[in-house]
Structure 1
Amino acid sequence: MLKRISSIKDRVEELREKGVQKGDDTGFKCLDELYSVKQGTFTIFQGAPTHGKSEVIFEVLMNQATKYGKKSLVLSPESGNAEEITLELIHKYLKKSPYKSNPYSTCTEKEFNSAFNWVDYHFVIADDDEKSYSFDELIAEVDEYEAEYKTVFELLMAEPWNELNHKLALQENSGRQDLAIEDELTMLRQYNKKKDKHTFLSFHPSNQQLIYDKDSGTSFYAMPKAREAAGGQATLRKAFSWINIWRPPVGLIDPEFDRPYLENELIVQVEKSKPKGVGKKGICRLFFDWKGNRYYEEINGNISYAFEHEEKVQTVRPITAIQPNIEFDKPFTKEIIIRPTPLDEYDDDPPF
């Protein structure tokens, strides 16, 4: 659509008055300095298998629901079926395992039911057991669901890229993967802008070279770069925000601090940030608490979970049959104080 400058003067004046607005906080001070969740755009996460792409996206979704009350549609086949993903989200909400089979779980029925209601209010899961979704099919189901239930998903999680059905896009581009990806990301950009949504995607790197560290005797893949993703430069050009994540191998020396990387350490690199004002390039570190199933950061040597660096967090909760004993004409606020459990107390490897 062609637009005369004079026809958009009011919006130009509004932007001039307010300035370029940053997106919403992720919950972590170190990451918020580099990245924000801007509605009307999308973010691509890239990392090797088992390095925690889905975990990081789940963390951001949980934090967006907690602070802003946003609702999410989740399509993440590698994270499990609908039941498993539901329990994963409940675990994150409670910061303790909901599984009765877990000998360390202290989850009560009351806590489980409260968490179940919260997750039910903020999340819907797209189960691909019967079919593999294309973007067109996923968007059509989102629109249909929103119309039927009179709700809105502010956030979509559709990952990993290779689990989506790209056959039609490839056919329309004579099998050219780069052109197919460009077409699909263009369509996704237009959809997010029109509907004011934010979509999280993830890619696996391809063609990485294995590195051998003689000091630790460890072979590993380095932090991936955007150009190593499927579609290469074509994918990077179409992306708004691009975040690489890397889980360092045990025993490798961290050159910045001259110590071995910690077992639960995750390096997060923002390689691209658009539109202007959303963030900037840079690297930060997060740490995974296996028992709580959540990430935390270190601030001045202290452990800080999502939003704990802020004094208070306004939490949006659904109206359920059992009402909490508070005044509903006032915002519900709470302070969260949680400490991680040392990883060596548990026999199993932490599922990063």
Structure 2
Amino acid sequence: MTTTKTLPMALDVEKCVVASLMLYPDQLEYARATLKPESFYSGDYQEAFSAMVEMREQGIDIDLQTLSLQLKKRNKINEPEIFVAECTDTSTTKYLDGHIKMLLDYSSKRNTIGLLRSSLNKLYTDDFEFTEILPELSSIIDSIENQSITGNDTVPRQGRILTVGKISDRLDDYYKSGLKFSGVSTGWKSITQHYRPAKGTLNIITGIPGHGKSEFFDALSVNISLEHDWKWSIFSPENFPVEFHVQKLSEKIIGKPMFNSNSKMNEHEFHAALSWIDEHYGFIDLHEDNCTLEAVLNLVKGSGVDGLLIDPWNELEVRLRQGETETDFIGRQLTKLRRFARKQNIAVFVIAHPAKMHKNTDTGKYEPPTPYQIAGSAHWANKADNILTVHRDFESDKNEVDICIYKVKFKVHGSVGKVKLCYDKVTGRYSEDENW
């Protein structure tokens, strides 16, 4: 079968999107989280979009002149100065949502035609009966629906209605091997009884500054990786430079300090720790001009890691949309994080500081902050799957630390409660006291 019809395209819409990004490059983070170069029909617009994404990743400021120079270096567009001038000599918009939706709609039509074309061609031959083609068409429809749910950017995100019949295989698997959905051990029996981290969840760790939120997460991640071989992407300005963070992880792995002790780890132990960390951890180093959640997620997406840490939340830039409050922004970002965790099937951890705390008037001590006391928004309590507070008793001879499990959304992952651990300041390890 041949056709004289061109594929669906909207070059005027594509031109508007590209021109708007050239003139208002602050919109690029939103666009790159939604579009891919293949979303464009025009090869020139694909190239221009790719060039701007590359410039942003390299920390190069985007203006018309620098973009023209970048396109000239890439040498894929004829006369890039004229191309940029013609692009920007058109109507543009600061608010791309509607135009991006139209662009994706056309892209989705082209994608669907590509999926169906080979099957439909078979109907023009005598080699196939109609009933033989039905399973193939059904498979294509399922593929389109699945791509929509998993966030393929060239398919309209319409979603679908699931029935028990459609997911019967998944339900059988859940019934027969439900334990694999229950999360993993934390390495501390007392905590695992209440909280089992699981892929596809959004986990928040809070606590008063200096009480050991980052230390606890590091110990938790080491335990999980030692027992379950999880791989991690770590965005932790709290622990930069990376040398400091690697030292802390090494001491937890080996159980010895790196410096200033007669019992410090030897060179063999040091290199063994480095090798293990290299296998299980990657450290995200964002450019200071692009310290956004979108930049983090773009680096992690498709990387195959099991977990992601953002520590702390307030190191990420706040980029409010027109009329948006900080509360609305946090809610939108947490929704994005939760969806990302589910689509990528990874466990996302965020360390968030509480708002200003006040001492208990009776005891003169700070109480453990609750989910609704996390700074910025009540959305922390509402959007997260699991929330833990790390609260340290500095007057305890045992360096006791309370791990308060304030929220566990799914009972298969545990239940609320409070557990005590002992913190070893020398190695950074946490242990359980059998006498408790």
Q: TM-score, normalised by structure 1?
A: 0.73
> Is the 8 Å Cα contact of residues 226 and 232 (structure 1) preserved in structure 2?
no
Q: In the alignment, does 2:350 pair up with 1:201?
A: yes
Partners of 2:404 and 2:265 lie apart in 1 by 35
The match for 2:387 among 222, 225, 242 is: 242
The match for 2:429 among 294, 298, 302 is: 294
> Is the 8 Å Cα contact of residues 267 and 286 (structure 1) preserved in structure 2?
yes
Query: What SS is found at the alignment partner of 1:182?
Result: helix
The match for 1:161 among 308, 313, 321 is: 313
Structure-2 change in CA distance of 1:7 and 1:157 (3 Å) = same
The CA deviation string for residues 247-295 of structure 1, in whole angstroms up to 9 with x for no partner, is 1242xxxxxxxxxx44511011111102231110100001111222211
| Aligned 1:37-186 pairs, distance under 5 A | 37-99=197-259, 102-128=260-286, 130-131=288-289, 133-143=291-301, 146=303, 152-167=304-319, 170-171=320-321, 174-186=323-335
Partners of 2:399 and 2:290 lie apart in 1 by 33
Map of 2:339 onto structure 1: 190
Map of 2:32 onto structure 1: none
Q: Could you list the runs of 5+ residues in structure 1 that have no partner in the other structure? A: 147-151, 251-260, 302-352
Task: Name the structure with the higher helix share.
Answer: 2
Map of 2:373 onto structure 1: 228
Bigger mean CA deviation after superposition, 58-67 or 10-19: 10-19
Amino acid aligned to 1:86? V
Bigger mean CA deviation after superposition, 102-111 or 13-22: 13-22
Tell me how far 1:105 sits from its aligned partner. Answer: 4.4
> Is the 8 Å Cα contact of residues 42 and 192 (structure 1) preserved in structure 2?
yes
Query: What SS is found at the alignment partner of 2:414?
Result: coil
Q: In the alignment, does 2:424 pair up with 1:265?
A: no
Map of 2:167 onto structure 1: 8
The CA deviation string for residues 88-141 of structure 1, in whole angstroms up to 9 with x for no partner, is 211211111223xx1434322111111111111111111347456211100111
Q: TM-score, normalised by structure 2?
A: 0.60
Q: Which has the higher contact order (CA 8 A, sep 6+)?
A: 1
Q: In the alignment, does 2:192 pair up with 1:24?
A: no
Structure-2 change in CA distance of 1:111 and 1:207 (3 Å) = closer
Tell me how far 1:230 sits from its aligned partner. Answer: 2.3
Amino acid aligned to 1:3? I
Amino acid aligned to 1:224? P
Tell me how far 1:246 sits from its aligned partner. Answer: 1.0
Partners of 1:211 and 1:175 lie apart in 2 by 35
Partners of 1:44 and 1:51 lie apart in 2 by 15
Structure-2 change in CA distance of 1:19 and 1:108 (3 Å) = closer
CA RMSD between the two structures? 2.0
Larger C-alpha radius of gyration, 1 or 2? 2
Structure-2 change in CA distance of 1:86 and 1:199 (3 Å) = same
Query: What SS is found at the alignment partner of 2:421?
Result: strand
Tell me how far 1:212 sits from its aligned partner. Answer: 4.3
The CA deviation string for residues 6-38 of structure 1, in whole angstroms up to 9 with x for no partner, is 322222233233347310010001100100011
> Is the 8 Å Cα contact of residues 82 and 126 (structure 1) preserved in structure 2?
no
Query: What SS is found at the alignment partner of 1:287?
Result: strand
